[in-house]
Amino acid sequence: MTKVISLLFVTFLLFSFATYGFSGKQYGKHENRNWWNNTKVLDQLKLTDQQKGKIDEIASSNKERLDNLRSQIKTYHKELDESAKNPNSTRDQILSEFDQLEKTRGELRKVEFEMSMEMREVLTPEQKTTLSGIKEQHKKRQGSEKCDE
């Protein structure tokens, strides 16, 4: 039980750092949610062509790995759901599948975070500050939209 709680806590921390930092997939599965694919954000950051090229290269070099991890997560989640519904599944089997799912989620968050940090290195200090402000505004808008629902 302690192992599961520890794993959940580490996963939560990784997810929190990735979300707070410069994660590409912070708010969902939509491509325009990636700040580097959002033309409004790019205009505000005033990226040079060289910076855009480096950021695109970083995103491209990580795409296959991220897609594979997301696919694994879907598979593990489906397997876990099936095991949880199966009356013949053992507690150990379900926990093992849960551990695998959470381990893979942690790997995904780490790759996203590392990619974000690599992209961050391309930005000037002023651009980093601008991006942080944009993300804060987005968080505030998301929070107010949730309150309106």
pLDDT tens track for 45-70 = 999 999 999 999 999 999 999 999 99
Answer whether 73's CB lies under 8 Å from 101's CB: yes
Q: What is the per-residue burial (b if ≥16 Cβ within 10 Å, else e) of 2-39?
A: eeeeebeeebeebbeebbeebbbbbeeeeeeebbbebe
Whole-Å CA distances, 68 to 4, 21, 71, 91: 24, 22, 5, 28
Question: Can you give the pLDDT at residue 3?
Answer: 57
Name the DSSP letter for residue 26: S
| Six-digit token string for 141 | 């808008």
Q: Tell me what percent of the residues of the chain surpass a pLDDT of 90.
A: 62
Question: Can you give the pLDDT at residue 146?
Answer: 56
pLDDT tens track for 2-39 = 555 544 443 443 444 343 343 444 334 444 468 888 88
Question: Can you give the pLDDT at residue 17?
Answer: 38
The total number of structural domains that make up the chain: 1
Answer whether 22's CB lies under 8 Å from 131's CB: yes
Name the DSSP letter for residue 36: G
pLDDT tens track for 90-100 = 999 999 999 99
Full residue range of the structural domain in which residue 80 is found: 2-148
Question: Can you give the pLDDT at residue 76?
Answer: 97
Confidence of residue 145 (pLDDT cuts 50, 70, 90): low
Answer whether 76's CB lies under 8 Å from 114's CB: no
What is the amino acid identity at position 116?
S
pTM reported for the whole predicted model: 0.69
